[in-house]
Amino acid sequence: MPITFTLNNAVDVKDYTWDFGDGNTSIDESPTHFYDSPGTYSVTLEITDNDNQCTDEFATEIELGAIPAFYKIPNVFSPNNEDSMTSLMLSLQNLNS
């Protein structure tokens, strides 16, 4: 069951580390991962900025077989130095749909 993980609006991100919750990982920005079976998986994304000054982690559970889901991720990297953080959007899409 292939799923594409897309991180939109990522600014000044140097490193991406995805943990798909089934023992597999990726360092790609927008990886496609193949799950062997439907179920609930804990997916984690760790990102590091270009200066290696800041690292942030986002974790969520996904249930395969459900309609595509969108998760809002707070962006720890505020490129415009405002008090309010910019947001990143994580899109999960089942390529079999």
Range of the domain at 51: 2-94
* Stretch 24-44: mean pLDDT: 90
CB of 23 closer than 8 Å to CB of 56? no
Nearest-angstrom CA–CA distance, 13 and 72: 17
Q: Report pLDDT for 51.
A: 79
pTM reported for the whole predicted model? 0.64
Q: Report pLDDT for 26.
A: 96
Q: What is the number of domains present in the chain?
A: 1
Side-chain half-sphere CA neighbours of 56 within 13 A: 17
Nearest-angstrom CA–CA distance, 74 and 57: 10
Phi, psi of 88 (to 5 degrees): -110, 150
| DSSP letter assigned to residue 19 | E
CATH number at residue 47: 2.60.40.10
More confident residue, 52 or 4: 4
Confidence tier at 97 by pLDDT (50, 70, 90) = very low
pLDDT in tens, 35-77: 888 889 999 999 888 777 788 888 999 888 754 555 555 555 5
Where does the chain have alpha helices with state H? none
More confident residue, 76 or 2: 2
